[in-house]
Amino acid sequence: MDKILHLTLNKKWFDMILSGEKKEEYREIKPYWITRLVKYFQNYSALINYPYLYDRGKGKYHIEFKSFTHIKFVNGYGKDKPTMILRLDSIVLSKGVEKWGGDPNKYYITIKLGEIIDTKNI
């Protein structure tokens, strides 16, 4: 069974993803996004303040993201809003890419995007 993550984007990022230019979507490491995207984390303080200490191999600060299979992006509101559904490759902690809206010196919850499956009202 597919598990879909629903997110709203502004037009610039929506269009960049639609064109294939943008390959990642970023969410700040804050309580709201932790609640929506993280299944389990061992040390909240480490996740918020020192995400770079996360070491998957050593399990120093164990974190497990929720297992979404797809992501549905919408742009705007109303019944005729543009939408697209993509495969969701993975969710990881990583630094941002500036041209995709991230800060290269800051860690984010990073959603790695796969292929576009469906579009509507584009």
Domains of the chain, residue spans: 4-120
pLDDT digits (tens, 9 = 90+) for 43-65: 555 565 555 444 555 545 567 88
pTM of the entire predicted model: 0.83
Q: What mean pLDDT do residues 85-113 have? A: 94
DSSP per-residue codes, 9-77: --HHHHHHHHHT---EEEE-SSHHHHHHHEEEES-HHHHHH-GGG--TTTTTT-EEE---SEEEEE-SS
Class of domain 4-120: mainly beta
pLDDT in tens, 107-120: 889 999 999 999 99
